[in-house]
Amino acid sequence: LQVDCSWTRPVTVITLMGHLHDWGTRFSVDHLKKDGSQTRIYEIADWNPDWTYEPQVQSYDDGSLTPETGDVFSTQCTWDNQSGAELQFPKEMCVAIGLAYPLDMPILCDTGAGVNE
């Protein structure tokens, strides 16, 4: 699954983390800039289900992650579904979570609702 979220205003991101459940195998987030460049800013190449409740946090408290209006964060998740059934929310999910400033409201982006501020 790939979810692309565009930034609607410039911010400074200070932390980023991924969230999957038991069938997750890989999680990554790429920063796609308006100039066409791309940087992998978060990656877990071998997901451990223990991290569902103990997320692996990437810190950017040095101020180095500053997406601008129009930049995109592209989140990719993969699973190895051995359950015998279709994986659906809330049994499985693909969520990138971050803290950023200055924001007076959360920014939410998902495959069904688009971007909400």
Average confidence (pLDDT) over 8-14: 92
Average confidence (pLDDT) over 3-32: 92
Measure Cα distances from 2 to 50, 72, 75, 79, 105 in Å.
23, 12, 6, 12, 24
Q: What is the pLDDT of residues 72-113, one digit of tens each?
A: 999 999 988 887 878 777 778 888 999 999 988 888 886 654
- The confidence score (pLDDT) of residue 111 equals 62
- The confidence score (pLDDT) of residue 103 equals 87
Average confidence (pLDDT) over 1-17: 91
Q: What is the pLDDT of residues 27-84, one digit of tens each?
A: 999 999 999 999 999 999 999 988 888 889 999 989 999 999 999 999 999 988 887 8
In terms of phi and psi (left: phi > 0; alpha: psi -120 to 50; beta: otherwise), the region of 72 is: beta
